[in-house]
Amino acid sequence: MSDLESTTYDWDLFVIGAGSGGVRAARTAAAAGARVAVAEERYLGGTCVNVGCVPKKLYSYAAHFHDAFEDAEGFGWRLAEAPSFDWPTLRDNKVGEIKRLNGIYARLLDGAGVRLINGRARVLDAHRVAVGDEVHSAEKILVAVGGWPWVPEFPGSELAVSSNEVFDLESFPERFLVLGGGYIAVEFASIFNGLGSDTHLIYRGELFLRGFDHEVREFTRDQMRQKGVQLHFETNIERIDKVEGGLAVTLTDGEILEVDAVLAATGRRPHLEGLGLDTLGVALDDGGYIKVNERFESSLPSVLALGDVTGGPELTPVALAEAMHLVRCHFEDTPPTTPLNYANIPTAVFCHPNIGTVGLSEEEAREQFGEIRVYSADFRPMKHTLSGSAERCLMKLIVADASDVVVGAHMVGEEAGEVIQGIAIAVKAGLTKADFDTTVGIHPTGAEEFVTMRTPTRR
């Protein structure tokens, strides 16, 4: 691209979608001197801020109070009356907080000198985008439109809500059912169970959270059951019918459950409808995700894509990392010399208790390294000696035997995400079990188990 050509475009970068990845790319590209516009049709901050991570975590906090009230008694607290939960308070306070965050995003874009255009964009060709009646030309177009909940079709499937609607239910579902066995399913089963709903989770396989460490999945299953979530495995929803006072959900095993709300948490798909990429021949993979190279270029090199629409790990911090890498590749003087490294991405699932994990599962490590050592601790946290709660904690390290490198760390327990974030640095750095062993514990914490486990549970 010659200087003359580049100045003929309205923008150096036109971003479609003001979610986590799009906003980060827009701001960092603008900071690098690019002229940037962003088109957004719905809400600033995308899924994460509006119908994902942020409201989910707020609701998870709300649900944890349930345990806290129960735990308090053993520590001498007497509540004057049984606590009651008011759904509209939580829902409406959440709405207020998200409005505040939307405003922060608008100010961030404005402060970075990025023009925000409201409306759904349509890509006309390799360098032109239409938003409503306006047509913009750009040297590069970034598609950062994210994903959208996908619900399988069955009789009555339109009566189910998705994670887009579940936060704003008109009334609190005293009886709640969630279909699915991924992140969203287990998180919302825990949330509504904690908030006081009679909660069912329906999963088609024999054990939910496919892909996670098997022991973590079993431990989580037992803990969630013990907290009152009714887990139904190896079954599916056959149909949903409206009945007096609620919904009748017929399962494929014949059981019929009457509930007030059904959440379908059955995965997300790229949100590409109406974007015009099909007519441009932008290559998609079998799942319908945009195929990109290491520079986040699609098969049409001026059209870039990142985040959930590209089918990588659907996690906000991954989209942020991709955005910064993309900007370095395309708008900075010193492009990165290596591709973005996707190894050892830590993640948390905010079911109750939480799961935190980084690196390989025991099964993956055994396949990759053959000889491994597993160190694990399954214990009653100190807090529950007085609380009387039956909640337990699982911590687990997977070590490649030959190198002594810790290749996986897993936890199920209170604030597992907070703990694993720290451990993730050590795993990412490739530290050995000997390094863990020479680290002094912080006493008394649960996390000190990660540096005090000395005898392998199994090899």
The secondary structure of residue 406, as a DSSP letter, is: E
Residue placing its CB nearer to ligand NDP in the complex, 187 or 215: 187
Residue placing its CB nearer to ligand NDP in the complex, 269 or 383: 269
Query: d(Cα 376, Cα 410) in Å, to the nearest integer?
Result: 9
Smallest gap from Cβ 110 to ligand NDP, in A, equals 29
Residue from the set 11, 172, 183, 436 that interacts with ligand NDP by CB under 6 A: 183
Residue placing its CB nearer to ligand NDP in the complex, 268 or 410: 268
Q: Which amino acid is at 303?
A: V
In terms of Cβ atoms closer than 10 Å to its own Cβ (0-12, 13-18, 19+), residue 243 is: exposed
Residue 101, CA distances (Å) to 45, 83, 108, 251, 316 in order:
8, 30, 10, 40, 15
Residue placing its CB nearer to ligand NDP in the complex, 37 or 356: 356
Residue from the set 137, 230, 344, 347 that interacts with ligand NDP by CB under 6 A: 347
Residue 192 makes contact with ligand NDP by CB under 6 A: no
Residues 318-337 interacting with ligand NDP (rule: CB under 6 A): none
Residue 250 makes contact with ligand NDP by CB under 6 A: no
- What is the contact mask toward ligand NDP in residues 348 to 367, using x (rule: CB under 6 A)? xxx-----------------
Residue 152 makes contact with ligand NDP by CB under 6 A: yes
Q: Is 271 a catalytic residue?
A: no
Smallest gap from Cβ 373 to ligand NDP, in A, equals 28
Query: d(Cα 179, Cα 182) in Å, to the nearest integer?
Result: 9
Task: Answer yes or no: are the C-beta atoms of 160 and 325 closer than 8 Å.
Answer: no
Minimal CA–CA distance to 277: which of 171, 427, 141? 141
Minimal CA–CA distance to 345: which of 320, 378, 370, 381? 320
Task: Answer yes or no: are the C-beta atoms of 208 and 349 closer than 8 Å.
Answer: no
Tokens describing residue 351? 């079911």
Residue from the set 88, 132, 155, 205 that interacts with ligand NDP by CB under 6 A: 205
Smallest gap from Cβ 188 to ligand NDP, in A, equals 9
Task: Answer yes or no: are the C-beta atoms of 312 and 321 closer than 8 Å.
Answer: no
The beta strands (E) that lie in 333-405 are given as 347-349, 355-359, 372-379, 393-400
Query: d(Cα 399, Cα 322) in Å, to the nearest integer?
Result: 29
Smallest gap from Cβ 450 to ligand NDP, in A, equals 21
For the beta carbon of residue 367, count every other beta carbon within 10 angstroms: 11
Query: Interacting stretch for ligand NDP, rule CB under 6 A, among 132-140, 173-181, 221-229, 444-452?
Result: 173-181
For the beta carbon of residue 340, count every other beta carbon within 10 angstroms: 18
Smallest gap from Cβ 278 to ligand NDP, in A, equals 23
106 dihedral zone (left: phi>0; alpha: psi -120 to 50; beta): alpha
Tokens describing residue 144? 């950062």
Task: Answer yes or no: are the C-beta atoms of 136 and 14 closer than 8 Å.
Answer: yes
Q: Is 247 helix (H, G, I), strand (E, B) or coil?
A: strand
The end-to-end CA distance of the chain, in Å, is 57
Smallest gap from Cβ 305 to ligand NDP, in A, equals 17
Residue placing its CB nearer to ligand NDP in the complex, 324 or 351: 351
Query: Interacting stretch for ligand NDP, rule CB under 6 A, among 181-189, 227-235, 292-300, 396-404?
Result: 181-189
Residue from the set 46, 173, 181, 359 that interacts with ligand NDP by CB under 6 A: 181
Residue 268 makes contact with ligand NDP by CB under 6 A: yes
Residue 184 makes contact with ligand NDP by CB under 6 A: yes
The one catalytic residue among 64, 271, 330, 443:
443
36-40 and 115-118 as β-strands: parallel, antiparallel, unpaired? Answer: parallel
Residue 439 makes contact with ligand NDP by CB under 6 A: no
Residue 74 makes contact with ligand NDP by CB under 6 A: no
Residue 161 makes contact with ligand NDP by CB under 6 A: no
Residue 251 makes contact with ligand NDP by CB under 6 A: no
Residue 219 makes contact with ligand NDP by CB under 6 A: no
Smallest gap from Cβ 454 to ligand NDP, in A, equals 32
The residue length of the chain stands at 459
Smallest gap from Cβ 125 to ligand NDP, in A, equals 32
- Catalytic residue numbers read 443
Residues that bind ligand NDP (CB under 6 A): 152, 179-185, 187, 204-205, 210, 236, 265-268, 314-315, 347-350
